[in-house]
């Protein structure tokens, strides 16, 4: 997780990466293809289509490949100065947003965010690096924050070091809403609440929690009960701090561990995975300042657990 860097005075996030594209304001409505041919010194339709297919054209910071995309007055079209990206296909990670500076992805459970000295498995980081390097060997992606291997959901990667450092240095100001959904063991007593504790790793890297300051990192999690059924609870969790294993340890503190949690759970694993998913991420773009909003649906397996089991009617023979 990103460390909190306390500053005496809060500063407004600033753009520190150089522009990687030429920006053209849209002054009147029309199709994207016609706009490109007009503003780029009368290029041919073939050249315009090539720019689109090579993913070098963005509309309001989003890569757009549709030639007949309808532009509205006030939009901005950006043409990348770099070679465009190739199509991306993966069964374990999905790109939900991409521009010249960022990638926002939806990671499946079971995939490491990045490798370690002891774990050299295929990771989200290596998969995305391979993707951007198909358009230039010098290209690479940079980790901004992480999700546990067994947690699924939304992650941000930067395409250059300056964007990475802008996101990390101003993380608390840039991120406006970050939420997870989980299914936990048992039925939560309260509809909502807040858990506060200090988290610290022991010598074997197991995180333990203390309700008083033990010299560890202060962690705050807000929770809201969505549904109770079948001795489970579907719960939405909002992080005020983002510490290692924070949600999993806090659910253990409440004696309602996340289902499928081998490390901090109670052995209950009805769906064969950790029932934790990062479903919402709202943040200001570190370069443009625009508020970007991303959400993914609650996983279908989570919803299925919450379907009430109908009591079978037993006919009584007379």
Q: State whether 191 and 291 are in the same domain.
A: yes
With respect to residue 202, please indicate whether it lies within any of the assigned structural domains: yes
DSSP 244-286: TTHHHHHHHHTT-PBTT-TTTS-S--TTSS--EEEEEEEEE-T
pLDDT number for residue 202:
85
pLDDT tens, position by position, for the chain (318 residues)? 444 444 444 454 444 444 567 889 999 999 999 999 988 877 888 888 888 877 788 888 777 888 889 999 999 998 876 655 556 778 899 988 888 889 999 999 999 998 766 666 789 999 999 988 887 788 899 999 989 899 999 999 999 999 999 999 998 889 999 999 999 999 999 999 999 999 998 878 889 898 989 888 999 999 999 999 999 999 999 998 888 899 999 999 999 999 999 999 999 999 999 999 999 999 999 988 889 999 999 999 999 999 976 544 444 444
With respect to residue 137, please indicate whether it lies within any of the assigned structural domains: yes
Q: Is 230 helix (H, G, I), strand (E, B) or coil?
A: coil
pLDDT number for residue 213:
92
User: What is the pTM (predicted TM-score) of this model?
Assistant: 0.74
Q: At 52, which CATH number? A: 3.10.290.10
Q: In what helix (H) or strand (E) does residue 24 lie, and over which residues does it extend?
A: strand 21-25
Q: State whether 75 and 91 are in the same domain.
A: no
Q: State whether 198 and 274 are in the same domain.
A: yes
> CA gyration radius for the chain?
23
With respect to residue 4, please indicate whether it lies within any of the assigned structural domains: no
CA-nearest of 264, 187, 286, 275 to 231 is 187
Residue 132 Cα to chain centre, angstroms? 18
DSSP strand pairing (76-80 vs 21-25): antiparallel
pLDDT number for residue 259:
97
With respect to residue 217, please indicate whether it lies within any of the assigned structural domains: yes
Domain's final residue, options 169, 197, 226:
169
Q: State whether 188 and 223 are in the same domain.
A: yes
Residues forming beta bridges with residue 311, ordered by sequence position: none
Calpha distance 312→282 (Å, rounded): 44
Calpha distance 139→59 (Å, rounded): 22
Q: Is 169 helix (H, G, I), strand (E, B) or coil?
A: helix
Q: At 201, which CATH number? A: 3.30.2350.10
Q: State whether 164 and 276 are in the same domain.
A: no
pLDDT number for residue 81:
64
Domain's final residue, options 40, 65, 80:
80
Q: Is 191 a catalytic residue?
A: no
Q: State whether 184 and 301 are in the same domain.
A: yes
The answer to whether the beta carbons of residues 65 and 48 sit under 8 Å apart is no
| Count of domains observed in the chain | 3
CA-nearest of 254, 245, 264 to 223 is 254
Calpha distance 179→185 (Å, rounded): 19
Calpha distance 184→225 (Å, rounded): 10
Residues forming beta bridges with residue 234, ordered by sequence position: 183, 227
Q: State whether 190 and 236 are in the same domain.
A: yes
Q: State whether 62 and 93 are in the same domain.
A: no
C-alpha angle with apex 172: 170 to 175, nearest 5 degrees?
95
Q: State whether 63 and 182 are in the same domain.
A: no
114 Ramachandran zone, left/alpha/beta (phi>0; psi -120 to 50): beta
With respect to residue 3, please indicate whether it lies within any of the assigned structural domains: no
With respect to residue 316, please indicate whether it lies within any of the assigned structural domains: no
Q: Which of 99, 148, 150, 261 is catalytic?
A: 148
The answer to whether the beta carbons of residues 113 and 147 sit under 8 Å apart is yes
Q: State whether 280 and 190 are in the same domain.
A: yes
Domain's final residue, options 103, 135, 169:
169
Q: State whether 194 and 158 are in the same domain.
A: no
Q: Which tokens is 54 given? A: 């090579």
What are the phi and psi torsion angles at 34 (to 5°)?
-60, -40
Torsion of CA 1, 271, 232, 264, to 10 degrees: -40
With respect to residue 10, please indicate whether it lies within any of the assigned structural domains: no
Task: Mention every residue, 6+ apart, whose C-beta is less than 8 A from residue 318.
Answer: none
Range of the domain at 238: 176-307
The answer to whether the beta carbons of residues 182 and 258 sit under 8 Å apart is yes
Q: State whether 141 and 236 are in the same domain.
A: no
With respect to residue 63, please indicate whether it lies within any of the assigned structural domains: yes
């Amino acid at each position: 997780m990103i460390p909190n860097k306390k500053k005496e005075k809060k500063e407004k996030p600033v753009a520190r990466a150089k522009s990687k594209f030429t920006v053209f304001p849209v002054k009147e409505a029309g199709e994207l293809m016609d706009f490109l041919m007009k503003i780029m010194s009368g290029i041919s339709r073939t050249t315009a289509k090539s720019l689109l297919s090579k993913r070098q054209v963005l509309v309001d910071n989003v890569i757009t490949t549709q030639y007949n995309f309808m532009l509205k007055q006030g939009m901005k079209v950006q043409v990348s100065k770099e070679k465009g990206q190739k199509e991306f296909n993966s069964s374990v990670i999905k790109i939900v947003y991409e521009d010249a500076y960022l990638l926002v992805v939806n990671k499946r459970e079971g995939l490491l965010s990045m490798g370690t000295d002891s774990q050299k498995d295929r990771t989200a980081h290596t998969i995305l690096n391979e993707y951007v390097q198909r358009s230039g060997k010098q290209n690479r992606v940079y980790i901004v924050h992480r999700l546990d291997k067994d947690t699924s959901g939304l992650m941000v990667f930067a395409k250059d070091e300056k964007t990475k450092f802008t996101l990390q240095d101003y993380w608390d100001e840039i991120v406006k809403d970050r939420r997870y959904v989980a299914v936990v063991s048992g039925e939560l007593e309260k509809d909502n609440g807040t858990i506060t504790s200090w988290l610290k790793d022991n010598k074997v890297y197991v995180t333990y929690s203390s309700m008083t300051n033990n010299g560890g990192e202060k962690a705050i999690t807000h929770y809201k009960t969505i549904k109770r059924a079948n001795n489970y609870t579907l719960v939405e969790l909002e992080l005020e701090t983002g510490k290692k294993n924070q949600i999993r340890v806090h659910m253990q503190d409440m004696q309602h561990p996340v289902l499928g949690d081998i490390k901090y759970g109670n052995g209950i694993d009805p769906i064969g995975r950790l029932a934790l998913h990062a479903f919402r991420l709202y943040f200001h773009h570190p370069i443009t300042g625009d508020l970007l909003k991303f959400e993914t649906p609650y996983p279908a397996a989570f919803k299925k657990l919450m379907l009430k089991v109908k009591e079978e009617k037993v006919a009584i023979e007379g």
